[in-house]
Structure 1
Amino acid sequence: MQSQERTAIVTGGATGIGAAIVRALSAAATNIVIDYVGDPGPARALVAELQGRGCAAVACEANVSLPADADRLVAAAVAAFGRLDILVNNAGIEARYPFVDTPDEVWQREIAVNLSGPFYCSRSAAKQMIAQAHGGRIVNVSSIHEEIAAPTNAPYCASKGGLLMLARTIAVELAQYDITVNNVAPGAIDTPMDAATIASKKLDSELLAEIPLHRWGKPEEVAGLVLWLCSEAASYITGTTVVIDGGMMRQAGSL
């Protein structure tokens, strides 16, 4: 396992979009720290896969909604590889309820993971990047719902809307350190989170009718965008959201 020049943390990096991002970054000569919560199996399997290809990777269990865990995650990256260059805030959760029936714990949990998590992890990562004095990249996996309302999904939409302003604000503040901060906003992506929609012919058909490209996006396509934002080619881009949705927001008239 040969250590590479750059080191990246990917939260929620064991499955879905996160795993695709991990694979893309590791293929681009980047050390990887995979954050996970709960079952260690998928994270360990992905680490073994990467190490089998000669890539440097470790897994770290950390609940990103807890400030101490966010600090520990960054410390683990530095302990393993000596530096931190990239943070991808990918961990996210979603549960749908009619607004008036939304349980308090659902609201609190989604805000904690989807918004507080990126805040805590970005704060810890930025401190390390500033101390290193070599710049850095922070990329948040947001959603088209940072702009588009979705009935029965108030906590999720609110958390992603907050992530939009978090990215814009800290991008301005961290620019002096050559740390860029951007969001990627996926639309309909074929992941386990949307398995129920894909399995329903009715729901799948209704959704595809709203997408000009008339297909689901792939996790690897989101990963390619994240990889580009972490590259030198995107070094002059900060404080913005790049949408990857097959044209869905354009058709909806939201942009």
Structure 2
Amino acid sequence: MNGLTDRNAETRAIVTGGAQGVGFAVAEALADEGCKALALVGRSREKGERAAAALAEKGVDAIFIAADVSSVADCRRAVDVALAHFGTVNALVNAAATSARGSLTDTGEELFDRIFATNVRGPFFLMQGVVRHLLERGAPGAIVNVLSMSAHAGQSFLAPYSASKGALMTLTKNVANAHRRSRIRCNAVLPGWMDTEGEAIVQATFHDAPADWLEKAEAAQPMGQLAKPAQLARLITYMLSPHSGVMTGSLVDYDQNVAGVVGE
């Protein structure tokens, strides 16, 4: 292996949220680095099949699995379908999530349950399926969970979302500790404000953002941009690859604002 070339050549990965945003950026980066087997999991069949077709043009055996990660049955089926198609899977990226708004005082039971089902329960059972498979084979593997800087605290209108990412943060470390002697690594990235299709929808839906919201938001950032999926993706693929060595249980902040710094 040389540099980025073929460093993920033996990777057979499941990527949730793989039809767009961070998930698809990860899939593209994996393909560029030599990965030949990718299962994209998402809700939109149209977007998912289009994404899989784009990867197939790069020589990847890419499949789309229509599934809602808030459903345990769908999570289990997604792992089963990927295993049936590829024979084995040794990598998982949990990128699918909901960032629905809600504060402590205005969040109802239904919203709370939906956020935790998508952001915590889904990743839990996806990891369970992949880890069980790896343990049965006695094979190593790698998992990367996509969290958020909101896991450190979060804004007042993100109470259940922040709590869900905090729960997944603890789960990441728990899984890393439980399975490190089986050479199954589990790490997480915590991105800050990102420029994604989903964020554009959130800004329009919840914040009445004007058409030029991105330009204004980026102008106000220390580094003059929001984090880009293609940039974050390379960190994630590194964490999946053998080049990251013994790295496990790590929570990597991916932001231009430093957690804990006040008034600067």
Counterparts of 1:30-49 in structure 2 under 5 Å? 30=35, 31-37=37-43, 39-49=44-54
- Pick from 230, 241, 255 the counterpart of residue 251 of structure 2: 241
Structure 1 36/58 Cα, relative in aligned 2: closer, same or farther at 3 Å?
Answer: same
Matching residue of 2:169: 164
- Report the Cα offset of residue 65 of structure 1: 2.3
Q: Distance in 1 between matches of 2:30 and 2:107?
A: 37
- Report the Cα offset of residue 205 of structure 1: 4.3
User: Pairwise CA RMSD of aligned residues?
Assistant: 2.1
User: Which deviations, in whole Å up to 9, do the C-alpha atoms of 1:148-192 show, x marking residues without a partner?
Assistant: 321111110000000110001110001011000000111111002
- Report the Cα offset of residue 44 of structure 1: 0.3
Structure 1 48/100 Cα, relative in aligned 2: closer, same or farther at 3 Å?
Answer: same
1:236 counterpart letter in structure 2: V
The answer to whether the 8 Å contact 1:115/1:160 transfers is yes
Counterparts of 1:222-237 in structure 2 under 5 Å? 222-237=232-247
Alignment TM-score, normalising by the size of structure 1: 0.90
The answer to whether the 8 Å contact 2:238/2:244 transfers is yes
Identity of aligned residues (%): 32
Matching residue of 1:90: 95
1:226 counterpart letter in structure 2: I
Matching residue of 1:125: 130
User: Which deviations, in whole Å up to 9, do the C-alpha atoms of 1:119-146 show, x marking residues without a partner?
Assistant: 1100111001111222000100000011
- Report the Cα offset of residue 88 of structure 1: 0.3
Residue 217 of structure 1: SS of its match in structure 2? coil
Unaligned runs of 5+ in 1: none
Structure 1 130/208 Cα, relative in aligned 2: closer, same or farther at 3 Å?
Answer: farther
Matching residue of 1:252: 261
Q: Distance in 2 between matches of 1:190 and 1:202?
A: 11
Q: Distance in 2 between matches of 1:100 and 1:148?
A: 16
Structure 1 208/110 Cα, relative in aligned 2: closer, same or farther at 3 Å?
Answer: farther
Counterparts of 1:1-255 in structure 2 under 5 Å? 5-30=10-35, 31-37=37-43, 39-195=44-200, 196=203, 199=210, 205=216, 209=220, 211-246=221-256, 248-250=257-259, 252-253=261-262
Q: Distance in 1 between matches of 2:237 and 2:214?
A: 31
- Report the Cα offset of residue 206 of structure 1: 6.3
Q: Which piece of structure 1 moves more, 109-118 or 142-151?
A: 142-151
The answer to whether the 8 Å contact 1:110/1:155 transfers is yes
The answer to whether the 8 Å contact 2:218/2:226 transfers is no
Structure 1 217/206 Cα, relative in aligned 2: closer, same or farther at 3 Å?
Answer: closer
Q: Distance in 1 between matches of 2:86 and 2:10?
A: 9
- Report the Cα offset of residue 200 of structure 1: 6.2
Residue 99 of structure 1: SS of its match in structure 2? coil
Residue 137 of structure 1: SS of its match in structure 2? strand
2:41 counterpart letter in structure 1: D
The answer to whether the 8 Å contact 1:208/1:216 transfers is no
Residue 102 of structure 2: SS of its match in structure 1? coil
Q: How many residues align?
A: 248
Alignment TM-score, normalising by the size of structure 2: 0.87
